[in-house]
Chains A and B, each alone.
Chain A
Amino acid sequence: MDDWVIELEDIRKVYRMGIEEVNALAGLTLRVKRGEVLAIMGPSGSGKSTLMNIIGCLDRPTSGTYHLDGKTVSQLADDALAEIRNKKVGFVFQSFNLLGRSTASANVELPLRYAGVNHGRRERAQKMLRLVGLGERMDHKPMELSGGQQQRVAIARALVNDPAIILADEPTGNLDSRSGAEILDLLLQLNREQGTTLVIVTHDPNVAKHASRVIRLKDGCIEEDHVSDTKPA
């Protein structure tokens, strides 16, 4: 028996623009094993971000079912989805999305606050920052950090609630190639050491090279699904 952490069944997402309908996802089925590193590729407008939003429970599919970590989440209400996001999903965005007013450690604490954790938040946040190599920069604000460092803070924030999956939508897109490579290394290292399931949207073939599995989207469908032999999940 395989341990599926993500199970998408015939997922459709239709955007209505007036009378025109856009099938951003057209009946997509996908299963992801726990501990996998999945790269999603495909041309612009192929539905990568739409798929990520549904996997991350930021949005609901128009039809189809979705099980995340054994729980049916396809038609949950807003607040229930918020709780799933909080407990089971860690997001890493292309543009980092840190709160500019708050320190690195306060940013990492944020998911714990919404989880209702009242004690030991700061300690847990600091542990995560040390894990991503930012032990010296805990009380710096985002403005005082480099792009690569900011993305590390975002990764620490994604990890702090011990989620089932980490979703990264073009995590290296705003970084130069060197810090991009470092961020990728960090994510892969976390996958190896902590067994975190990684889903990465990317245009970068170099990123895809390190994934255990690559799917290629076109017009809201999976055009190609390639499991690497060299990197078993």
Chain B
Amino acid sequence: MFLTQNLLEALESLTTNKLRSGLTMLGIVIGVGAVIALLAVGQGASATISGSINSIGTNLIFIVPNRSTDITVRRPLTLQDAQAIGDPLNAPSILLTSVLYTVGPVKVSAAGQTVSMSIDGVTSTYADVRNLTMAEGDFISDTQMTGRASVAVLGTTTAENLFGTSSNLIGETVRISGQPFRIIGIQASKGGSGFTNSDDVIYIPFTTAVSRLAQSTDGAPDRVDMIVAQAVSANAVPQASDEIKQIIRSRHNTEVGKDDFTLETQQDILSVTSQITGVLTIFLGGIAAISLLVGGIGIMNIMLVSVTERTREIGLRKALGARRRDILIQFLTESATLSVVGGFIGIGLGAGLAYAIGLIANATGNSFTPVVGLNSILLATIFSATIGLFFGIYPASRAAGLQPVEALRYE
């Protein structure tokens, strides 16, 4: 009842001096607009970055030989290491392991086309661990693995390079280093994610790669280039890493502090990037908050001027029976109206700005979508209302504290 009346009166009083109210509001508009736009850009950027990291797999641990020259005694990682890690009795936090052994580059030919590329020897679990899906046929099976079968799974790019198509190729033959391999599957396209094209690959059984293609086995026939372990969950990665270190250290008899292997996880990258984007968002938000603060001081300034200008009006209202609280509410309503209306305009402006930034980013090839979240809208609304109230309190209580006689006499 009184609220609407107060609001109407505040609007009436603010519209009598439109230019002044508009300019005062501008401070809040710019502040809130900046907060909304910068938060949207920050959130969009971090969503894009963590999204591309997540697609690699946040629960994976990559184990590779330690290339540091400090390590003098070095044992290679082997298939047996991978199997030991994959044993749930040894390492309960690990779901699956697989290995990667790369040969080449070697000559690969089919249908009259010849290309030179590396060949990946993997175990049957590799598809599950790396989240590979098949467009056609199947991935390498356990039987093919133990039987050293001459079978191959091709990526779509490789298939197209060799055959000019990536469909209906099951059963076709591809020659790798002159030896015939039967195609049993085509891997579904993963899309080029940055520096490597994960569609330009050929997978063959690890055993086949070692026995048929390897130049020399360095006296270690089960040597692998990399073990990939999949933890039971992303949260279990630290625990799983500890288990892996224990197992390989005891298998390799490494000296303390001289591991001949290193672990890489996506979590490290993820936490670093989320730290960076977090700091960036806070930094941008801080700048925006400062402009909001300046807007708030602008409101306080104008409200003080307004109280002085309207001293007689305040005296009259008091003579007619206005209590302290009535005057306080009147002026607080005005300052809150200024800042909330400014806040809403600012939200619109900020959302538009974020949208424009998104368009520019997409046009320049950096695909990311700024996110104007409900929480940042809520935050901006509450924040601007609070600023209006906070910076309105001092002028309003000055008005409310005026003595009627003196206020009425004011010229």
Contact = CB atoms under 8 A, between A and B. Distances in A.
A58 B1 CA distance: 28
Contact of B320 (A91, A101, A102): A91
B320 A86 contact: yes
Interface residues of A, number: 25
A58 B321 contact: no
Most A CB within 10 A of own CB, among B5, B16, B316, B326: B316
Given A58-B408, A97-B408, A101-B16, A114 B319 contact: no
Contacts of A86: 320-321
A111 B404 contact: no
A85 B317 contact: no
Given A53-B405, A101-B13, A79 B323 contact: yes
A113 interface: yes
A118 B312 CA distance: 26
A115 B321 contact: yes
Interface residues of B, number: 23
A204 interface: no
B5 A113 contact: yes
A58 B405 contact: yes
Contacts, number: 58
Interface in A108-135: 110-111, 113-115, 118
Contacts of B322: 82, 114
B324 interface: yes
Interface string A43-81: 000000000010010110000000000000000001100
A224 interface: no
A114 B13 contact: no
A114 B323 contact: yes
B1 A118 contact: yes
Contact of B323 (A53, A83, A101, A102): A83
B320 A85 contact: yes
A91 B326 contact: no
B318 interface: yes
B309 to A, nearest CB: 12
Contacts of B323: 78-79, 82-83, 114
Interface of B: 1-2, 5, 12-13, 16, 312-313, 316-326, 403-405, 408
Q: Which 8 A-B pairs have the closest CB atoms?
A: A86-B321, A114-B321, A79-B323, A58-B404, A82-B323, A111-B320, A97-B316, A59-B405
